[in-house]
Amino acid sequence: MGRIEKMNWRIKSLAFVFAVFLVSQVFLVSTVEAETDSWTDKASMLTGRRGCGSVAVSSGMIYVIGGVDADSVALSVNEMYNPTSNTWVAKASMPTPRANFGIVTYGNNIYVIGGGGVFGADGVTGVNEVYNTQTDTWETKTPMPTAREYLCANVVDGKIYLMGGNKPVNRDSPIYVSNVNEVYDIATDTWSSKTSPPMLVSSYASAVVGDKIYLISGIGDSGELTLIYDTKTDSWSNGAPIPQSVWGAAAGVTSGKQAPVRIYVIGGYPAFDLVQIYDPKTDSWAEGANMPTPRYRVSVSVVDDCLYVFGGPGNEGMIANEMYTPLDHDDVAALSMKGNTLVIFVIVVVIIAVIGAVMLVLKLKGKSNRQI
């Protein structure tokens, strides 16, 4: 085989490899897209409960803490879920058994604030307990000034915001809904007050996008409203109302890495299996695939832009762990993949063109030498 024939063979081989690469990329993208907007059943919790709290830490582990059992007994359990291995491990129990509290993660720590165990003022607390995920130990910090339950906690720039919630005046009085906005400074272990929500809120769903905290629906005066708190200006505004008002739902937000930034409001009463999706950029709502196990008083955590939903009433709901893959999951990755494919395509075309030019020069040079 001559030199030019060898080069022709190499070019053909390179073209074949590149064609296989392109086909594999198209197949991979189409496969990823086919699995989105769907639910997957995962390993059940070790302890069945409702009103528990969950957070995903930087390691990718999810901790599900507290709640109440089928007999409405407050729990102190702390269980760690590994999404990669789909396994559970029991961890050090929370010092104060309770449910329906605010929970956030910051650094290596998980902050569990407020909550309640039984009906009545004596069952509601402002306790602030911190779990260190590295040492598997708990520590008590300065309690929240206004004891309450059925609230969410959100962290922005090292400060934890706790808004609204319920607190009974005493065991014989009806529950009232608070509209306070109390902020815990992690660095100084101190509390301060900020501008209250414009109305009474409780049992709402909540998430953080950038510097803004979103309070969605719930019990009280909020109904179908989407309330937006700007932590920089200490001010409130309204977003587009949620299509179906719910209470006892939970929310998770995707990061924009493997799915565009969206807030997912999952479950709740009375739309137990509904997935309502809010786009903060367009201030609009959409709907996702229904949750397989209808429930409320759930907890949601997000890992790799997939949402894990834990707990809720009922025999199946109490131990449930179901994962939702958003409709547009991996769209960002797919676009990046397609972009990389295009870049590689251009590079290969240039290489082939250069090789072709070299071949032509050699061919012409060969003819010239033969003529001489």
Residue 76 confidence (pLDDT) above 50: yes
Residue 207 confidence (pLDDT) above 50: yes
pLDDT band, residue 348 (cuts 50/70/90): low
pLDDT band, residue 220 (cuts 50/70/90): confident
Q: In terms of residue numbers, what domain contains 143? A: 38-329
81 and 10, same structural domain? no
Arithmetic mean of pLDDT, 349-355: 57
Alpha-helical (H) ranges within the chain are 3-34, 331-371
The residue assigned the tokens 């997957």 is 40
239 and 190, same structural domain? yes
325 and 242, same structural domain? yes
Residue 238's CATH number: 2.120.10.80
pLDDT per residue over 1-17, tens digit each? 555 555 555 555 555 54
pTM comes to 0.81
The alpha-carbon radius of gyration of the chain (Å, integer) is 27
189 and 204, same structural domain? yes
Residue 253 confidence (pLDDT) above 70: yes
Residue 172 confidence (pLDDT) above 80: no
342 and 203, same structural domain? no
Burial class of residue 344 (count of CB atoms within 10 Å of its CB; 0-12, 13-18, 19+): middle
107 and 252, same structural domain? yes
Residue 322 confidence (pLDDT) above 90: yes
151 and 217, same structural domain? yes
Q: How many domains does the chain have?
A: 2
Residues in the chain: 372
352 and 316, same structural domain? no
The residue assigned the tokens 């130990």 is 137
% of the chain at pLDDT higher than 70:
77
Q: Given this model, what pLDDT does residue 363 score?
A: 57
Mean pLDDT over each residue of the chain, to the nearest integer? 85
320 and 367, same structural domain? no
State how far the alpha carbon of 285 is from the alpha carbons of 212, 218, 242, 347, in Å.
18, 17, 7, 42
Q: Given this model, what pLDDT does residue 31 score?
A: 38
76 and 175, same structural domain? yes
Least confident of 36-45, 131-140, 170-179, 289-298: 170-179
68 and 50, same structural domain? yes
pLDDT per residue over 330-339, tens digit each? 755 444 444 4
Residue 155 confidence (pLDDT) above 70: yes
89 and 128, same structural domain? yes
Q: Given this model, what pLDDT does residue 336 score?
A: 43
Residue 177 confidence (pLDDT) above 50: yes
